[in-house]
Every structure is written in structure tokens, then in C-alpha cells.
Amino acid sequence: MKISYIGTYPPRECGIATFTMDLYNSMVKDNQPGEGSSEGFIVAMNDHGLTYDYPEEVKFTIRQEHQRDYLAAVKYINLSGADVCILEHEFGIFGGQNGVYILPLLFRLEIPLVVTLHTIIKNPSYDQKAVLVEICKMAQKVVVMSYKAIEFLTTIYNVDENKIEYIEHGVPDIQFSQQKSKEAFNLENKKVLLTFGFISRNKGIETVIKALPQVIEKYPDVLYLILGKTHPNVLRHSGEEYRNYLQLMVKSLQLDKHVFFLNEFVGQQELFRYLSASDIYITPYLNEAQITSGTLSYAVGVGSAVISTPYWHATELLADGRGRLFNFNDSDGLSEILMELLDKPDVLKMIREKAYNFGKKTTWPKTGEKYTSVVNKIPAGKRELAEKKETIIDPLILPPFSLAHIIRLTDDTGIIQHAKFGIPNLKEGYCLDDNARALLMVLMTYRQKKDSMALELLPIYLSYIHYMQNKNGTFRNFLSFNRNFLDEVGSEDSFGRTIWALGYLMGNAPNDAWYQTGRVVFFDAIPNFVKLQSIRSIAYTIVGISYYLRSNQSDDSLTEVLRNLSYKLIGHYEQNSSADWQWFESLLAYDNGILPLSLLHSARILKDDKITVTALESMHFLSKITLKDGYLSIIGNEKWLEKDGERSLFAQQPVDALAMVLMYHQAFKLTKDKEYLNKLFACFMWFLGENDLRMSLFDFETKGCCDGIENYGVNRNQGAESSLAYLISHLTVLKAFEEYETSHD
């Protein structure tokens, strides 16, 4: 068995680094070579630009905030011959929002995955829950270190209990005599209290300091040792503010001779010598939300008499007389317990013995055996990757269709263009682009679902478009919340999107009044069609004209305009394309799918072979780049893909996914090739997590869609553009499924 481990690793000073090292040693390094033995290597996480002098077992490193490192790491693991991967998971050690960068690595992993969860949050944020749920879906086994963790995983995160394994936190098999340890530290005549671990405000050390005056009055030989560095994240953001606060408290209470700060990250041998020297170990955390504590496990494992606040792990680990509990922030209660135990050495001894007997069962050799047993039970062979799943449309996967967020964004003027998370951002006002998209979406909704709410929203968006039209047929784009125009003439793109929506309206109007309104606005805009220069505005306009001509086939004038605009696009294609670059520009930018889509629409109307060939060639070229791994990887707007250049993974926009969904739908309608439905559905699933980050952009709570994939994770703002892109895509999937089923009748 060859095992790859992903986690932090010494010499990085981190509790998970120590855990990863101990696990590796117990499963691989400390085992004798021979039948049934394992080998392995470490993929180590670096942080904040730091590098470390790692030992030889570290074969690959990942810089925390560099997503390409994660992708390079998974390639290394897949080619290494490893049989299984063990991930040490803690939100803060991986890059992106809530450690989201680890998801693309795990998704591409070709071997079984075992995950150790060091943190499980009772009230997770949307992103925290989404990340952990995805990790647990991809794992064959999920290891936790407390029974409370099992409860949370099954009830909050809906993880199958059969997938979960309980294995206690391992403890090094190191023993020292208390007498010799006290002598080594010159503590022979002291009653030693100890707290160790990274120092930060949530550790509650001030509770112990406040408890000491009462204790010292009776036992003046008490010494409280605070062993550990300030947590690196705290140090970065707040410096030594908390340590200074504690030291001032010590001075004000005149405890200088009774409290000692040892500002070091000590090795295991030294740490266990301190634990052995102590009479009582204290963990005074300030709240219950601690699912696992390595420091507590060590203290119990070495046989310390432990006093702790009742956080989750302590409540379990100190049960059955293995320690004592006091309430959060309760200095008086702590004082009473300390004096009781110091008064009764026999009780103190009994607690130590119970802790020691329990600790003997959790030494790392025994914990390593349990992990090895878990790994050995996993069936050998490659893990089935998600991208190899069948993608013929399955409407049961889709969330229930809902206009709730669109209603939230819409007032009597139009749809607000931006949102702050799920709330309309009134400061940004309205734009023509989004009201045109909204008109298209409600028309589709009413046509497919006969939704009365769509019928109520429709005239709002149509009246906004009418209000924004200039006398020469062009349109303004932006309107402030107090209804002031913010431009004289909008972009060509906004013009084209409006023509698209109006063209669709004239083919699908629910009543004559709205048809006539749309027709007037559309025909007033026609003189501007021939003036368009932006290839995307030309493409949007082609789609709008095509929709119009489907119900007005005898309009020879607009048929000729359609032909001219189509060949204008083909001219760009011929100018820029080559054997290895079959595209309309020298780069792939935004809303790329709209260009082949427009020619696919035109081809159905004009029955022109050249238009059809150009549409299909450019579509296949775009597919080769964005669907090469079996899921949609949109060209990020952060850095567009120039010919022979490097693309960006970030600033992926929902409108790009929409364009791809519409493109493949139109390709299916033109060719009847069901493979385009597979691609259509794969592109739609980008919204639901089949993407580079493995995160859903659809918000199941607000029913909105997040604004995109950024370098830090998902942009949780849910503006009109994104939510409309999702809803139009959703409706297109349902329509495509209906067409596919009908074709099989």
C-alpha cells in the first residue's frame, strides 16, 4: 500500500502539521518493511509565502493561495502510484474562501480518498457547509475524533453514517516520571499548573489568571506555566496584543512570581516532559465550539489531571472521572476545583490514573493501526471521477424553479442590476442589459410554465426598455435609483441584447398589446442594425432577428439584414481563424458562446451551408477549450485567452455558462445530435457545482445565483445578470429535455 498525505507538515509550526507527521510515522515510517507494510509521501501546505526545510518524505508542496499548485499536486499524486490519499482538513490551511481551493484537487483525484476532519462547525456559513459537504461526497471514508462530530455530520451536513469512522486523536507514546521532570525544570517545590498550545483570545487564559489569587492564598507554591507561541494568524493581524493583555493582568493581580510565560513552540519530547512535570493541566476555552483538541488529547494521553471548560471534545474525553469540568469564564468555579484537588492528593491521583489508562489506548501506534485498517477496507482501484458520469439531461437534478429572487430585485421601474449578497443594491440602480434579459426570462417562463407572476413582471421590463429608447432608435443603458439617466447612448452590447429580447417577444407575446409595444420599439431600432461594429452586438442582434423571422418569414428586408450581419461575423472568422485557432477574434473573451449561437440561429432561417459550417467549427473549437475535462471551465475575465497565450481560471461569469447552454441547445435543434444535449447539461451543471471550484453558484436559500468564480472562491453577491443567466439556463434545460423526449415518442 502506497499512501499520499495532504496537510501541513513540520517544521511548519502547526498542530495539524504535528498530527500529519505522527500519522505518517505510525502508518509508514515506524513500521518494519515486509509483507503488509506501507510506504508513502507527503504533499505539504505552505502558508503566506513562507517555505520550509522539509524532510525527505515531503515530495511536493502547495502554496496556499496559488490554485495552479493544487492542480499540479493532483497530477503528481495521480502519477505517483499511490493507492489512497489521506487529507487532513482544516478550513484555514487551504486557499480561497473557506479553503475552497482544495475541491478541484480532490475532484481530479484518481485514487480513493480518506479525510480527517479537524474542525466541524455547528452553525456553518453557506460556503463552509458547501465546501465540507463536497469534500465528504468525494471521500470514501471520513474520520472524526469525537462522537459529537458524527452527530453534526449526519444531522447538519447529511453525511451517510456508514461513511464515517471514529478514531481517537493519537498520542505520542512518550513517558517521563513526574519527579525527574520537575527536577529537570527546577520545579521540585512547586505545584505546577499548565496550559499549552497556540495563544489566542478564544483560549480563555485570563479565566485561569483571575482564579489564581484565591488558590495562591492557600497554596503559595503554585506556579502556572503558559507554554506556547501566539497563533501565527493572530500575530499577523493583532501582534502580541493578547499576550500583553495577559501580562498586564498578571502584574495588576501581583502574580509575577506565580505565572510564567514560555513563548516557544516546543517539540514533542520537551512538551511531554512539561506535561509530566505538571500537577494539573487546564484548558479554559471560552465556548463549546471545539470539536477536537490535540492539546487535550495529549494531556489525557500522558496521564495529566485535567480541568477544562465543557467544550465538546472535553465533555467526551473527560467523562467517567478522567478529568473535571468548570463553566465558561467561571474563575470562582475553577478556584474551587483547584483547591479541592490540591487539598485531596488521593482524588488527584485517581484522576491521573484514569486518564493514563485511557491514554494507553490512544497512542499513535494504535491509532495508526486503526487508520491502516480503514484504508485496507477500501476497495482497490481507481476512484470513479465525476466527469465520467452520464450527462443526458436529468430534470430531477434541477432545484425547483423559483422567481423569488427576481421578484426581490424588481420594483415598479425595472430590475435592480446588482445585489449585496441576496439583497438588492439600490445604489447601483438599473441597466438596459438586465431588463432585456429579464424580459426574455419572463417570456420563457410564461411560455413554458404559464406562471402568472411572470405575466405581472413582463410589462415592468418592457416599459423600462421603452423608456430608455432614444428618438433615433438607440438606447440609453443606465438609470439611477432616483430615475436619472446616467448615459446618453448605451453600449452596442446592451443594444443587441435588447433586440434579442424584443425579437423573442414578437414570436412569443402573451397578448397583442405587448406585442405591438415590442414591435414599435424593435422597428424604431432597425436603422441602427447596419451600424453595429461589436461582434457580440451583431451576434445578439442576429438572434433577435432570427426569433422575429420565425413568425414573420415573408419579411424579405430583415431576412437580407440577417444575411448581411451573419456574413459580417463570418468575415471576422475568416480574418482571424487558422488551422489551430478557429475563432472570430485573436482571443477568447467574454460571452463566447454567443458567437456560434447566433450563426446556429441564422443557419436555421437562411439554410446557408457556409453559415452552418462556420457555426459548427467555431462551436467545436470553443468546446475543445472549455469542456476538455468533461465539465465547463469558463474563460475567466481576469485574463482572457489570447492565441498561444495563457488563460485565467478566475472571474468566471454565469452569462458565459448561459451562452454555452443556449449554444448547445440550438446545435441540437439544428442537427438533432443528442451529444449536444450531453454538453448542454454539463454546461448547466456549472451552476450547481460541476466547475473548477466544485462549488454551487445557485443559492438554495435565496433562490438567486452568485455572481461568479473569483480567485478567493465564489462571489456571493447575487445580481440580476447572474440570477437571470441561471433561470434562462434552467428553462432551456427543461425545454431541451421536452424536445428530446418528444423526438423519442
Note the pLDDT tens digit of each residue in 119-167: 999 998 877 888 899 999 999 999 999 999 999 999 999 999 999 999 9
Render pLDDT for 169-195 as a digit per residue (tens, 0 to 9): 999 888 888 889 889 899 999 999 999
Q: Which of 6-10, 285-289, 337-341 has the lowest mean pLDDT?
A: 285-289
Render pLDDT for 660-688 as a digit per residue (tens, 0 to 9): 999 999 999 999 898 999 999 999 999 99
The C-alpha atoms of residue 343 and residue 483 are separated, in whole angstroms, by: 78
Calculate mean pLDDT across residues 596-615. 97
Instruction: Residue 731: name the closest of 410, 439, 456, 448 by CA.
Output: 448
How does residue 628 score in pLDDT terms, banded at 50, 70 and 90?
confident
How does residue 383 score in pLDDT terms, banded at 50, 70 and 90?
low
Residue 209 scores a pLDDT above 50: yes
Residue 388 scores a pLDDT above 60: no
Calculate mean pLDDT across residues 581-587. 95
How does residue 387 score in pLDDT terms, banded at 50, 70 and 90?
very low
The C-alpha atoms of residue 39 and residue 1 are separated, in whole angstroms, by: 6
CA 426 to centroid of chain Cα atoms: 28
CA 513 to centroid of chain Cα atoms: 46
The full set of domain ranges for the chain reads: 2-170+371-387, 178-362, 429-531
The predicted pLDDT at position 745 comes to: 45
Query: pLDDT averaged over the chain?
Result: 92
Is residue 712 within 8 Å of 722, Cβ to Cβ?
Answer: no
How far are the Cα atoms of 91, 369, 382, 383 from residue 378, in angstroms, in the given order?
26, 15, 11, 11
How does residue 391 score in pLDDT terms, banded at 50, 70 and 90?
very low
Degrees, nearest 5: CA angle 495-496-497: 95
Q: How far apart are the first and last CA of the chain?
A: 52
Q: What percent of the chain has pLDDT over 90?
A: 73
Is residue 400 within 8 Å of 61, Cβ to Cβ?
Answer: no
The predicted pLDDT at position 265 comes to: 83
Calculate mean pLDDT across residues 553-562. 94
The C-alpha atoms of residue 489 and residue 495 are separated, in whole angstroms, by: 9
Render pLDDT for 286-312 as a digit per residue (tens, 0 to 9): 999 889 888 899 899 888 999 999 999
Degrees, nearest 5: CA angle 261-267-268: 110
Calculate mean pLDDT across residues 471-480. 96
Calculate mean pLDDT across residues 47-73. 90
The predicted pLDDT at position 393 comes to: 73
Whole-structure pTM over 0.75, yes or no? no
Calculate mean pLDDT across residues 311-328. 94
Residue 521 scores a pLDDT above 60: yes
Q: What is the CATH number of domain 2-170+371-387?
A: 3.40.50.2000
Q: What is the DSSP string of 456-489?
A: HHHHHHHHHHHHHB-TTS-B--EE-TT--B--SS
Instruction: Decide which of 436 and 49 is more confident.
Output: 436
Instruction: Decide which of 458 and 264 is more confident.
Output: 458
Query: Matching CATH topology for 2-170+371-387 and 178-362?
Result: yes
Contacts of 577 (CB under 8 A, 6+ apart): 583, 584, 617, 618
Element (DSSP H or E) covering residue 114: strand 113-117
Instruction: Residue 636: name the closest of 646, 625, 650 by CA.
Output: 650
Pairing of strands 191-196, 164-166: unpaired
Residue 34 scores a pLDDT above 70: no
Render pLDDT for 426-456 as a digit per residue (tens, 0 to 9): 999 999 999 999 999 999 999 988 889 999 9
Q: Which amino acid, residue 228?
A: G
Calculate mean pLDDT across residues 96-100. 81
The C-alpha atoms of residue 683 and residue 659 are separated, in whole angstroms, by: 9
Q: How many residues does the chain have?
A: 745
Residue 397 burial (10 A CB sphere; 0-12, 13-18, 19+): exposed
Calculate mean pLDDT across residues 604-614. 96
- Report the SS3 class of residue 244: helix
How does residue 386 score in pLDDT terms, banded at 50, 70 and 90?
very low
Q: State the alpha helices, DSSP H only, in 385-475.
A: 404-409, 432-449, 452-468
The C-alpha atoms of residue 643 and residue 651 are separated, in whole angstroms, by: 19
Q: What is the CATH number of domain 178-362?
A: 3.40.50.2000
**Backbone phi and psi for residue 596, each to the nearest 5 degrees, phi listed first:** -60, -35
Contacts of 726 (CB under 8 A, 6+ apart): 654, 658, 687, 697, 698, 704, 705
Instruction: Give the HSE-up count for residue 387: Cα atoms under 13 Å, Cβ half-sphere.
Output: 19
Calculate mean pLDDT across residues 474-491. 95
How does residue 389 score in pLDDT terms, banded at 50, 70 and 90?
very low
CB atoms within 10 A of CB 383: 18
